[in-house]
Amino acid sequence: MSKKKLAIILPAYNEEPVIQKTTKVLSDLLKSLVAAETITDDSFIMYVDDGSVDQTWQLINRLADQYGHVKGLRFSHNFGHQNALIAGLTEVTGSDVDYAVTIDADLQDDPQAITEMLRLAIEEHKDIVYGVRNDRTSDTAFKRQTAGLFYKLMNFLGVKTIPNHADFRLVDQRVLAAFQEYQERDMFLRGIFPAIGFNSAEVFYARAEREAGETKYPLRKMLQFALSGITSFSVAPITMVRNMGLAISGISLLMLIYAIVRYLMGVTQLGWPSLMVSIWFLGGIQLTAIGVIGEYIGKVFMEVKHRPRYLIADRRD
């Protein structure tokens, strides 16, 4: 069987404490795959430095000197994890790379799973292989709970995602080409790949603790990310407020009939409490509805500007 060229893409934002270790682990993995004649010896590791403010870029350069198969891209400033992944994938699209694997720089995803990903791609002709965590004990209970809730919500809204799959996956050139057809600014990759389709498989692994440094996904960013996922793939929230509006209109009609009947029966009321309740209730509903619609209009605004998703300031081959 012919050998395949592999590119491992790692987004890195202030990962100075870990990338040395990460490079060593991945480099050993590449070596063993080359020795097993699975991959070519020009397979490589590519860091995408997402505008780090520590010594990450200097380290990447030093690692490139030290290891022949380390490359790097550097953004002009922080464009976010998803854009770093997009840049790496775009870089290898249409090249002689057969398979691209994206993995976090902090070694939380088990690099050993890459061997099985390659096997599924080569022997079983899978175009996408998703890395799925079968053990989240290294995450806090809060993160587990909120993540579980998020996947349920996405499922409820009709968005196809792979539960417990983050952005650790292997894709081939067929998928990379299809991926370039998706040109939206605000990309939620975990929804895009299942939407691309083709043949896919899953590989399970235990998620480890972060090797060093700390998470770049605090709660605020996590919520923003979840919201972006929902609004990128579903207009269900708009449908929901519309249905809510219809239901409330129905109820108010019934209330009107009730008031007329009471009036005909000779009962007159001052109506102060009911008036206040309706005003506040409807006011709240209206503001919520405007807010939901506004969220989508804001998104349209961001999309129509068609600004670049990232800017590359520097590269190291």
To Mg ion, the closest distance from the beta carbon of 10 in angstroms equals 11
To ligand UDP, the closest distance from the beta carbon of 240 in angstroms equals 29
| Site membership for Mg ion, residue 108 (CB under 5 A) | yes
In the bound state with ligand UDP, the residue whose beta carbon lies nearer, of 74 and 126, is: 74
Of ligand UDP, Mg ion, none, which one does residue 82 interact with (CB within 5 to 8 Å by kind)? none
Return the closest-CA partner of residue 138 out of 207, 204, 205.
207
The answer to whether the beta carbons of residues 45 and 107 sit under 8 Å apart is no
Of Mg ion, ligand UDP, none, which one does residue 80 interact with (CB within 5 to 8 Å by kind)? ligand UDP
Q: Which of residues 46-105 bind Mg ion (CB under 5 A)?
A: 104
The C-alpha torsion from 194 through 195 and 198 to 201, rounded to 10°, is: 10
To Mg ion, the closest distance from the beta carbon of 222 in angstroms equals 12
Residue 301: in which H helix or E strand, if any? Answer: helix 272-305
Provide the 8-state DSSP code for 267: -
| Site membership for Mg ion, residue 110 (CB under 5 A) | no
Half-sphere exposure of 245 (CA within 13 A, CB side): 13
CB atoms within 10 A of CB 81: 21
Return the closest-CA partner of residue 122 out of 256, 5, 24, 294.
5
| Site membership for Mg ion, residue 106 (CB under 5 A) | yes
In the bound state with Mg ion, the residue whose beta carbon lies nearer, of 44 and 168, is: 168
In the bound state with ligand UDP, the residue whose beta carbon lies nearer, of 84 and 203, is: 84
In the bound state with ligand UDP, the residue whose beta carbon lies nearer, of 216 and 309, is: 216
- Is 70 in a helix, a strand, or coil? strand
In the bound state with Mg ion, the residue whose beta carbon lies nearer, of 217 and 280, is: 217
Give residues in contact with Mg ion (CB under 5 A): 104, 106, 108
